[in-house]
Structure 1
Amino acid sequence: MPTPQRVLFLCDGNAARSQMAEGLLRALGGPGFEVHSAGLEPRPLHPLAVEAMAEAGIDIAGQRSKHLNEFLDTRFDRVITLCDRTRESCPDFPRDNETLHWAIDDPTAAPGTQAEQLAAFRRARDAIRREIERWLATTTKPHAT
């Protein structure tokens, strides 16, 4: 049986982008991936992230925000940062095979009405989906143990 690749998505608050990425990779990557997300300063899961993902048929309502410290002793095959601040601030993971950076705008910072804010979450979700699909098309598949 293949060993799933361990992937960690990192963002500042682990409230939106990294949570959406976790849900998307689980849905798109299937059992070949063990997916986690964390933040440098975790905040509660944003309800508009849950709503935007539900529109795409992915339920992330049961996910919880986690601090990066929960994973410092975990070996990941890939660590993917989703914002510049996290890329600059996160500790090195020298035991990991690959670190990637995808600069995704923070939807939690979007001004405007709730509808305008939801539109920002949709844009972030769609941008993350594109990055994941592009990455899945080029990444090595899980290997047998």
Structure 2
Amino acid sequence: MKKFYGTGTYVQSAGVKGDLEIDGFAIAVCEELGVELSRHQSRGFEELHEYGDHLSSFDLIVALTPTSQATVQDLTRVFHLDVEHWPIDDPAGLGENRNQKLDAYRHSRDQIVNRLIARWGPPLDPV
């Protein structure tokens, strides 16, 4: 999001589980667009508070899986914020060789990019 639309909007990434390492295939396909993920740290919703963020301070949460959508809706039911579900294909476990795996990750990456553009318009920094 920051790569496409700048830093004028505060964006934070979190998931249902925060103890997962960033997948090497995700790092590789995002790097193709100039998005640096290798130093990104995965964190869970509960960890946001430890980093100084609280779910109530956000206007919008985008859930990429049904599990994260259900978790977010449960955690935020007392807050006034929007939750959107973007059903993105999970590339984990797809493909039998490196090229097929990279293609699966590119497909998921491109789904996210298309959703960003549909929601917020063309990127300020075209890819």
Report if TM-score (shorter chain) is over 0.5.
yes
Q: Quote the Cα distance in structure 1 between the aligned partners of 2:44 and 2:61.
A: 14
Percent identity (aligned): 23
Q: Please list every run of 5 or more consecutive structure 1 residues that lacks an aligned counterpart in the other structure.
A: 1-24, 138-145
1:1-41 deviations in Å (ceiling 9; x for gaps):
xxxxxxxxxxxxxxxxxxxxxxxx11112122111111212
Q: Secondary structure at the match of 1:108?
A: coil
Aligned-pair CA distance for 1:96:
4.0
Stretch moving more, 89-98 or 51-60: 89-98
Q: Quote the Cα distance in structure 1 between the aligned partners of 2:81 and 2:100.
A: 38
Partner of 1:104: 88
Partner of 2:12: 36
Partner of 1:18: none
Q: Quote the Cα distance in structure 1 between the aligned partners of 2:22 and 2:70.
A: 23
User: Would you say the 8 A contact 2:16–2:67 is kept in 1?
Assistant: no
Higher RCO (CA 8 Å, separation ≥ 6 residues)? 1
User: Would you say the 8 A contact 1:78–1:96 is kept in 2?
Assistant: no
Partner of 1:6: none
Partner of 2:124: none
Q: Quote the Cα distance in structure 2 between the aligned partners of 1:104 and 1:49.
A: 14
- Report the TM-score when normalising by structure 1: 0.71
Q: Quote the Cα distance in structure 1 between the aligned partners of 2:39 and 2:80.
A: 27
Q: Quote the Cα distance in structure 1 between the aligned partners of 2:113 and 2:39.
A: 20
Is 1:68 the equivalent of 2:52?
A: no
Is 1:92 the equivalent of 2:68?
A: no
Is 1:77 the equivalent of 2:54?
A: no
Give the length in aligned residue pairs: 113
- Report the TM-score when normalising by structure 2: 0.80
